[in-house]
């Protein structure tokens, strides 16, 4: 009985392995035929490829839309996450700024009250003239600049020369249309300064290098690298508080200062008239007394 069923199944269902073999052989033959056709007639094959591409393109476009949409969603989620982080950072910065604003208002109020107690009279606003740097000595023995501002512009000897970063030097010589500026790094430059953190006084002495030195400091003065150096206002040459630089080195070899203003990047400077010419006046008086003798 079982043999009869097996025989009937074999008759009604031919061997599928044989069909698969013939199908595989047919695909191989079709591939060879397409290759031969592509070699024989390139134009026809290009047209066929173009037609197939045109037919498949809409399908691929439809299939690619979900992928593009998913990528866009991922990008938007990342952007939202970045916005949240930035928002948190901005809130923290805003909180700090509000605290600084409150502290600034408090200090401004205290300053106003103290000025009232001292009967303080503020000085006049300093006048200034801007000039362009047209020449640099560039030598190892002289550190000076030539600017396009002179006597006709109101520039006079001894006036401070600054930029937005800090002190550049002082006017050393004046012509009708130009002026020569002695830099704070020049060997002949001596500027009274103070260490902002400790209020220790010193003299900033140029030595024709890029790092002037602090000399005549009081014994036991505490100076650390990074301390800000500003003008002290002593001597009547400069007003107090003009930024000069920061301490670069403090040790057995002395204290050197890294100026805020870089000499090789100067293009425009500002000549400021603070109305302070105490040193020049005393010098002129001494010269006049010598001539009278």
- Residue 45: the pLDDT is 64
Q: Looking up tokens 């008759």, which residue turns up?
A: 11
User: Token digits for 166?
Assistant: 């800090």
User: Up-side HSE of residue 2: CA atoms within 13 Å toward CB?
Assistant: 0
CA angle 31, 33, 34 (to 5 degrees): 65
- Residue 103: the pLDDT is 87
Structural domain boundaries in the chain: 2-40, 127-279
pLDDT reading at 161 higher than 90: yes
- Residue 29: the pLDDT is 78
Sign of the Cα pseudo-torsion (77, 79, 85, 87, in order): negative
Supply the pTM of this predicted model: 0.56
Q: What is the mean pLDDT of the chain?
A: 79
pLDDT reading at 140 higher than 50: yes
- Residue 42: the pLDDT is 63
Q: Looking up tokens 């606003």, which residue turns up?
A: 125
Average pLDDT over residues 279-292: 41
CATH architecture of 127-279: Beta Barrel (2.40)
- Residue 111: the pLDDT is 83
Q: Specify the higher pLDDT residue, 83 or 211.
A: 211
Residue 162, phi then psi, degrees to nearest 5? -135, 170
Angle between helices 16-40 and 42-118 (to 10 degrees): 80
pLDDT interval class at 40 (50, 70, 90): low
- Residue 75: the pLDDT is 82
């Amino acid at each position: 009985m079982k043999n009869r069923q097996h025989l009937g199944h074999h008759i009604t269902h031919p061997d599928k392995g044989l069909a698969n073999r013939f199908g595989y052989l047919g695909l191989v033959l079709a591939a060879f035929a397409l290759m031969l056709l592509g070699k024989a007639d390139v134009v026809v094959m290009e047209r066929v490829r173009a037609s197939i591409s045109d037919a498949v393109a809409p399908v691929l476009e439809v299939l690619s839309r979900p992928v593009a949409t998913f990528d866009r969603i991922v990008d938007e989620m990342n952007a939202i996450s970045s916005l949240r982080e930035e928002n948190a950072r901005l809130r923290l910065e805003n909180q700090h700024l509000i605290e600084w604003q409150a502290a600034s208002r408090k200090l401004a109020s205290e300053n106003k009250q103290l000025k009232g107690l001292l009967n303080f009279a503020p000085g006049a606003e300093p006048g200034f003239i801007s000039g362009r740097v047209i020449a640099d000595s560039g030598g190892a023995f002289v550190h000076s600049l030539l600017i396009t501002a002179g006597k006709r512009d109101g520039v006079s000897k001894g006036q401070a020369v600054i930029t937005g970063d800090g002190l550049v030097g002082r006017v050393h010589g004046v012509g009708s249309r130009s002026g020569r500026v002695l830099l704070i790094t020049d060997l002949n430059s001596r500027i009274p300064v103070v260490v902002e953190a400790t209020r220790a006084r010193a003299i900033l002495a140029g030595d024709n290098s890029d790092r002037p030195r602090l000399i005549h400091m009081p014994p036991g003065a505490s100076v650390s690298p990074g301390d800000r150096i500003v003008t002290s206002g002593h001597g009547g040459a400069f007003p107090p508080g003009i930024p000069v630089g920061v301490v670069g080195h403090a040790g057995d070899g002395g204290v050197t200062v890294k100026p805020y203003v870089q000499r090789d990047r100067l293009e425009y400077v500002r000549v400021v008239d603070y109305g302070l010419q105490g040193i020049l006046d005393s010098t002129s008086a001494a010269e006049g007394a010598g001539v009278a003798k």
